[in-house]
Amino acid sequence: MGFQIGGTILDFVVLSILRNKDEYGYVLTQEVRDILDVSETAMYPSLKRLQKNNLLSVYDVPYQGRNRRYYKLTEEGRVVLEKYMKEWNELKKHMDRLLGEDFDHVNG
């Protein structure tokens, strides 16, 4: 993707992935990277920021002699995710209207 990805979009994607299930760091990073062109090193500061802002909580689960750090959406995180979803839908509506038939022609 050629768009510059800012922190808010990355946060939105992370919160969206964690909406229905907790996930440990490696898998979460892979799921984000399936959607966004983001480096692994950019992920962990984002996760720390989300945790610091009480949008995510973390817990460890032992696995084959090591701990896996799982990330879980908090209630505050759900509120922020709902806000992001509304803002995204509004932006999408405006972009669809702006691009109109030209956009449909490119995709069809």
pLDDT at 102 (0 to 100): 62
DSSP secondary structure letters along 25-93: HHHHHHHHHHHS---HHHHHHHHHHHHHTTSEEEEEEEETTEEEEEEEE-HHHHHHHHHHHHHHHHHHH
pTM, entire model: 0.84
Which of 42, 9, 43 lies closest to 28, judged by CA?
Answer: 43
Q: Using 50, 70 and 90 to split pLDDT, how confident is the model at 1?
A: very low
| Residue 12: predicted pLDDT | 96
Q: Work out the percent of the chain whose per-residue pLDDT is above 70.
A: 88
25-66 tens-digit pLDDT: 999 999 999 999 888 888 889 999 999 999 999 999 999 999
Only one residue has tokens 């969206």, namely: 16
